[in-house]
Structure 1
Amino acid sequence: MNSTATSPVPEATQPLLALRGLEKRFSLSGDFLEQLKFKGGKLVRHQEHVHAINGVDLEIQRGEALCVVGESGCGKSTVARTVMGLITPSAGEVHYAGQRIDDLSTKQLLPYRRRMQMIFQNPYASLNPRMTIQQTLEEPIRLHHPDWTAQRVKDKVNEVMQSVGIDPDWGPRYGHEFSGGQRQRIAIARALAVDPEFIVADEPISALDVSIQAQVLNLLMEAQQRHNLTYLFITHDLAVVEHFGTRVAVMYLGRVCEVAPTATLFARPRHPYTQALMSAIPRLEDDRPQHIRLEGEVPTPVHLPSGCVFHGRCPHADTRCREEVPALIVTDDGGQVACHAVEEGRI
């Protein structure tokens, strides 16, 4: 045997999910005929795109909850949907447990569909109004376990309903008969029904009353402990991040600005945009930093600025920031930041 041959990396030591240079563009120009325009007496093809995500690199380790935060339109939900295969990336790769999955066929993806589940933002829209709760929860089980008996499927549904605090007697009822918090519990039960190991939660509590949000969040945390789940948690609520997340990725205009352990990010944010976000959190402490007011408008994702996408609003921007896209570099506290000013020691 050749002693220099390399053995494959054990699955348990790899990131559960890895995104490599992920990009997604949405066309604004319609079909081919709509793209044809007369310009200077000539017929030219004009195309415009929304650049939703632009070169996202992220890794999620087994058992952690990675929270992705940023303002509306920064690409958080597009990342979530691309990871789950609901959107096809324009460029880049999605790897799950060491296997590239973004280029697989529907049939090849089926085993990963059971391991990866998603909880959507709006519990009023994510449940089929024509199906009872029993049918809603049985459907994924029957799809992934066609050999199970009807009784075994029913027992599994009862088990998962009880695990999220739902009375199994609710089974014959329809989604419209429940409140938002109850519907989201049903949506969580549907995600857990096939015993996944990875869950993408796309703002799962933002459509709920504040009084219900904590209950659903605690339910997700309990499910993580009970089932050893890994989360990709999309949110804009920094209070939720501080309570729920293991690590945090901050996005701005389709790019990742900073990635760091939660405690590190809240104690010492490095990127100027992250610092502005953190300064906006209401605090009772007298020694909290002053609120940072950003100047200028958020650029449009149709016409992205050159260089660092944040340079137009950053007080530390210089010529290099306007011309060169910053790469994520590892910081001394174990995080990553994409900022020329941090790299050069200017901030």
Structure 2
Amino acid sequence: MKDMTSQPLLELKNLEKRFLLDHGFLETVKLRGGKLIRERRQVHAVNNVSLSAQRGEALCVVGESGCGKSTVARLVAGLLEPSGGEIHYSGERIDNRSRQANMALRKKMQMIFQNPYASLNPRMTIRQALEEPVRYHNPSMSRAEIRDKVAEVMRSVGVDPSWSGRYPHEFSGGQRQRIAIARALTVDPEFVIADEPISALDVSIQAQVLNLMLEAKDERGLTYLFITHDLSVVQHFGTRVAVLYLGTVCELADTATLFENPKHPYTRALLSAVPQLKDDRPNHIRLKGEIPTPINLPKGCPFQSRCAYADQRCKVDLPRPQQQPDGSLVACHAVEEGRLGD
């Protein structure tokens, strides 16, 4: 019998996702040195990512725009098919199963999207939008039970059930995102994928929505995969943090460990950009150099062109995640060789 307490709820093993740029025959034909050759260009969005999320935790994935964090979220949600690697949920592999076979999983796993203005159907009232998933996943429930369930969830996210006859355009951005959270909670999930759920909201509303998600986590025992580019949000929300750069994991650590002792040069640069009230003389790390394109990834470390510590080894040898004494994982030759300095 499997030990469910130590087993991760979600586990990603060497996950990869590539998007083809050239599809037709004519698009693949290129002229090189006076010769015609066939070449298929690909965007390497996610490259050999391995992560796990334990039950009840909030695993945050952070990085710059275009680093592949939203692609990871969509791969886990089943909205995209991986090009390589495996996705395991509660000990079972799910990426190689059909949509029909994963239907029961949809009730356990829900997603909150980035844009509350686009994620709600403008032609449906809030009641219709919230009742639809309940009715779909619970065909035996009566109309009265469904309505009671929706009213209870709306109250739990701070939205008055008497507003359920209104349409999405009648609500503010913060109210819409609360409704989107309510829609995810109506089917009583155990795992929620949140793809930058507060980035489209005013700063004054962001804390309210974050606190709402934390309350739902405690009350319902939720596990989160939280995608964000805002490290101040991570410090407030996350239990563990994975830092992505060009589709690869640079550093993986507990939130407290990452903020107290960041090790990867990219993580240090990200954290130095977070405003601190206590800093009289902020020590910002300014990254120089060009960001490589995900179409033609560099041979060695993907961060080499912007790293002040890069040497010849970094240009030819891809660093592998190494366990550190404090439990964090860091993929960096400079950290491994002890030439980073403090």
TM-score range, shorter chain: over 0.9
1:241 aligned onto 2:205 = no
Look up the match of 1:159.
152
Q: Offset of 1:61 from its aligned partner?
A: 0.7
Q: Offset of 1:282 from its aligned partner?
A: 1.3
Identify the match of residue 21 of structure 2 among 23, 28, 50: 28
Identify the match of residue 244 of structure 2 among 239, 247, 251: 251
Identify the match of residue 164 of structure 2 among 171, 196, 199: 171
Q: How many residues align?
A: 340
Where 2:213 maps in the other structure, the secondary structure is: helix
Q: Identity of aligned pairs, percent?
A: 66
Q: Offset of 1:317 from its aligned partner?
A: 1.3
CA shift in 2, pair 1:19/1:291, >3 Å: same
Where 1:256 maps in the other structure, the secondary structure is: strand
For 2:296 and 2:119, the matched residues in 1 are separated by 33
For 2:32 and 2:301, the matched residues in 1 are separated by 32
Q: Offset of 1:285 from its aligned partner?
A: 2.5
Q: Offset of 1:136 from its aligned partner?
A: 0.5
1:225 aligned onto 2:227 = no
Q: Offset of 1:235 from its aligned partner?
A: 0.6
Where 2:100 maps in the other structure, the secondary structure is: helix
CA shift in 2, pair 1:229/1:346, >3 Å: same
Q: Offset of 1:296 from its aligned partner?
A: 0.3
Look up the match of 1:58.
51
Where 1:21 maps in the other structure, the secondary structure is: strand
Where 1:15 maps in the other structure, the secondary structure is: coil
For 2:100 and 2:4, the matched residues in 1 are separated by 22
Identify the match of residue 313 of structure 1 among 300, 306, 309: 306
Q: Offset of 1:116 from its aligned partner?
A: 0.5
Identify the match of residue 274 of structure 2 among 264, 271, 281: 281
CA displacement, residues 261-285 of structure 1 (integer Å, 9 cap, x when unaligned) = 1111011000011011111111133
Identify the match of residue 102 of structure 2 among 98, 101, 109: 109
- The root-mean-square deviation of aligned C-alpha atoms, in Å, is 1.4
CA shift in 2, pair 1:288/1:112, >3 Å: farther
1:14 aligned onto 2:7 = yes
CA displacement, residues 248-273 of structure 1 (integer Å, 9 cap, x when unaligned) = 11010110000111111011000011
Look up the match of 1:95.
88
Identify the match of residue 60 of structure 2 among 59, 67, 85: 67
Q: Offset of 1:286 from its aligned partner?
A: 4.2
Identify the match of residue 210 of structure 1 among 203, 206, 211: 203
Where 1:13 maps in the other structure, the secondary structure is: coil
Look up the match of 1:144.
137
Look up the match of 2:263.
270
For 2:280 and 2:339, the matched residues in 1 are separated by 24
Where 1:24 maps in the other structure, the secondary structure is: strand
Alignment of structure 1 residues 119-138 onto 2, 5 Å: 119-138=112-131
1:196 aligned onto 2:195 = no
One-letter code aligned to 2:167: Y
One-letter code aligned to 1:168: P
1:292 aligned onto 2:292 = no
For 2:200 and 2:7, the matched residues in 1 are separated by 34
Where 1:25 maps in the other structure, the secondary structure is: strand
Give the gaps of 5 or more residues in structure 2.
Answer: none
CA shift in 2, pair 1:34/1:328, >3 Å: same
1:322 aligned onto 2:315 = yes
For 1:173 and 1:285, the matched residues in 2 are separated by 45
For 1:56 and 1:104, the matched residues in 2 are separated by 20
Give the gaps of 5 or more residues in structure 1.
Answer: 1-7
CA shift in 2, pair 1:269/1:289, >3 Å: farther
Q: Offset of 1:38 from its aligned partner?
A: 5.3
One-letter code aligned to 1:183: R
Look up the match of 1:76.
69
Q: Offset of 1:287 from its aligned partner?
A: 7.3
With the length of structure 1 as denominator, give the TM-score of the two structures.
0.95
Look up the match of 1:343.
336
Q: Offset of 1:32 from its aligned partner?
A: 3.4
